[in-house]
Chains A and B, each alone.
Chain A
Amino acid sequence: MKRTVVVAAALLLGAGAVMAQDNLVKQSQDTMKANAKNLGGVLIAMVKGEKPYDQAAVNAALAQLEDTAKKLPTMYPASLKGAKFEGDYGPSPKIWEDQAGFKAKIDSFAKVVTEAKAKIKDLDSLKATAPGIGKECGGCHETFRLKNS
């Protein structure tokens, strides 16, 4: 009887861990997709002149990006190491090997987003500032994101 309880508990715990991991993977992917949508589909689309300038949409996009900056430090806990990421990309092991380097990238991204919130008031300031956010994305991805093969 005792044994059954222990086994059942262990199984439940294990299943819980797998589910937690799945949720973390999903959280990471959903956040990155939302970032891309706000940056590419809102901010950069305005820079390119595909969409008219809209301060409310800019604010909403920046708010989501700021939220990402807050989530990033806890988005890749050690338990995600080796987790299965479907799709084109997954996290590089360097996230855990070079934690200081990864943190520096997150801090730099957070700083750029905060500055953008203060600076972007019209199309000209958007054009001057928004590409810098994309640079932060690419700068971190180059080292800490891996192409799935």
Chain B
Amino acid sequence: MLKRLLLALCVLGVAGLAVFWWLTQPSTIALAAAARAPDLANGQEMFNIGGCSSCHAVPNQPDRLKLGGGLPLESPFGTFYAPNISPDPNDGIGRWSEGEFVNAVLRGVSPGGSHYYPAFPYPSYAAAKVDDVRDLFAYMKTLPPVAGASRPHELPFPFNIRRTVGVWKLLFFDDKPFSADASRSAEWNRGAYLVNTFGHCAECHSPRNPLGGIKTAQRLAGGPDPEGHGFVPNITQKGLSDWSESDISYFLETGQLPDGDSAGGSMARVIRNTSQLTPEDRKAMAVYLKSLPPVEGPPRPKKPAS
């Protein structure tokens, strides 16, 4: 009788593991051969709006195009270190195929077939157009290779098991492509595309639940800084109602707030990218952000009384 029970438990356990394995299987895109030559100028624009260098540029040196990685990104789940994504063949992505790159950016799956942690903002990138990612890859190939292996992340159990990201993806990852809103202008749609896909604004400017998923109803409504210091502002019209369209695009160009203050924290690095965009793209983002309905975000913690 006991033997039978043990056997049944074993079978159940194996079956459970098999189901877990099946559910957390990384899914990838089979990429058809490119039907066009890459557009390097578009790749550069996508690189700048994508904010790649905000995290992947070698810290404490001025060249934002040296993508050797190394910047620590603190989170409630441990510390991530941005990997080397320069075209170095040994330490970077120099040997990657276009298909491998597209799957990394749009599906969060590595060339070896394992999940990336969503500290890499592929949940936003997932909605981007494949051709834009192809152009981005071609552009990144033109950047200088940087030697130096990526530093492993420092994550406690169970987050150090990449397969568990498969569960996270089941809960929070949506690979639906961006769809334009025909009732809005082309400019608005361009802004929506840039803000929500490559721009990945929502990744920092939204509150997250205890499992690290974005609270969809409060998207872009700000919240505690995921890196643990202070607060990220609400960028729906609840927070930006007194900013004009030109205030927003001027901010994205210069980092200067309408009240004369300058961007602080990680946003300073973001501005270094958005300042490189075309004025049309910055304006499109401003038009889109200005159109967002006001959404109440999490309450800002009270200033400690002196």
Query: Does B110 belong to the interface (CB within 8 Å)?
Result: no
- B258 to A84, Cβ gap below 8 A? no
- A48 to B246, Cβ gap below 8 A? yes
Most buried by A among B244, B247, B254, B262: B262
- B250 to A44, Cβ gap below 8 A? yes
Shortest distance from the beta carbon of A134 to any chain B beta carbon, whole Å: 4
- B260 to A37, Cβ gap below 8 A? yes
Query: Does B265 belong to the interface (CB within 8 Å)?
Result: yes
Q: In the complex, what distance in Å separates the CA atom of A86 from the CA atom of B229?
A: 15
Query: Does A147 belong to the interface (CB within 8 Å)?
Result: yes
Total A-B residue pairs with C-beta atoms closer than 8 Å? 68
Most buried by A among B254, B260, B264, B306: B260
Shortest distance from the beta carbon of A4 to any chain B beta carbon, whole Å: 30
Closest A residue to B261 by beta carbon equals A36
Q: Is the interface of A mostly helix, strand, loop or mixed?
A: helix
Closest A residue to B301 by beta carbon equals A149
Query: Does B259 belong to the interface (CB within 8 Å)?
Result: yes
Query: Does A129 belong to the interface (CB within 8 Å)?
Result: no
Shortest distance from the beta carbon of A88 to any chain B beta carbon, whole Å: 7
Query: Does B230 belong to the interface (CB within 8 Å)?
Result: yes
Query: Does B303 belong to the interface (CB within 8 Å)?
Result: yes
Q: In the complex, what distance in Å separates the CA atom of A142 from the CA atom of B303?
A: 22
- A87 to B303, Cβ gap below 8 A? yes
Q: Which of chain A's residues have a CB closer than 8 A to the CB of B225?
A: 147, 149
Q: Which chain B residues (181-197) contact chain A, with CB distance < 8 Å?
A: none
Shortest distance from the beta carbon of A108 to any chain B beta carbon, whole Å: 14
Q: Which chain A residues (95-149) contact chain B, with CB distance < 8 Å?
A: 131, 134-135, 137-138, 141-142, 145, 147-149
Q: Which chain A residues (1-58) contact chain B, with CB distance < 8 Å?
A: 35-41, 44, 47-50
Number of interface residues, chain A, beta carbon within 8 A: 28
Number of interface residues, chain B, beta carbon within 8 A: 24
- B260 to A41, Cβ gap below 8 A? yes
Q: In the complex, what distance in Å separates the CA atom of A142 from the CA atom of B261?
A: 12
- B250 to A138, Cβ gap below 8 A? no
Q: Is the interface of B mostly helix, strand, loop or mixed?
A: loop
Most buried by B among A37, A40, A41, A142: A142
Closest A residue to B253 by beta carbon equals A131
Given A134-B254, A134-B255, answer yes or no on A141-B264 (Cβ-Cβ < 8 Å). Answer: yes
Q: In the complex, what distance in Å separates the CA atom of A40 from the CA atom of B230?
A: 24
Given A38-B260, A147-B229, A147-B264, answer yes or no on A138-B255 (Cβ-Cβ < 8 Å). Answer: yes
Most buried by B among A38, A49, A88, A149: A149
Instruction: For B306, give its contact among A36, A39, A86, A131 (CB under 8 Å).
Output: A86
Q: In the complex, what distance in Å separates the CA atom of A148 from the CA atom of B264?
A: 11
Q: In the complex, what distance in Å separates the CA atom of A35 from the CA atom of B260?
A: 8
Closest A residue to B247 by beta carbon equals A48
Q: Which of chain B's residues have a CB closer than 8 A to the CB of A50?
A: 244
Query: Does B257 belong to the interface (CB within 8 Å)?
Result: yes
- A41 to B259, Cβ gap below 8 A? yes
Query: Does B42 belong to the interface (CB within 8 Å)?
Result: no
Shortest distance from the beta carbon of B254 to any chain A beta carbon, whole Å: 5
Closest B residue to A22 by beta carbon equals B306
Given A86-B306, A138-B268, answer yes or no on A44-B260 (Cβ-Cβ < 8 Å). Answer: yes
- A134 to B262, Cβ gap below 8 A? yes
- A149 to B228, Cβ gap below 8 A? yes
Given A48-B247, A48-B250, A149-B229, answer yes or no on A89-B259 (Cβ-Cβ < 8 Å). Answer: no
- B262 to A141, Cβ gap below 8 A? yes
Q: Which of chain A's residues have a CB closer than 8 A to the CB of B254?
A: 131, 134-135, 138
6 contacts between A and B (CB under 8 A): A36-B261, A40-B260, A48-B247, A86-B303, A148-B230, A149-B229
Known: A40-B256, A141-B268, A148-B230. 5 other contacts (CB 8 A): A44-B256, A44-B260, A131-B256, A138-B256, A147-B225
Q: Which 5 A-B pairs have the closest CB atoms?
A: A40-B260, A36-B260, A138-B262, A147-B230, A39-B260
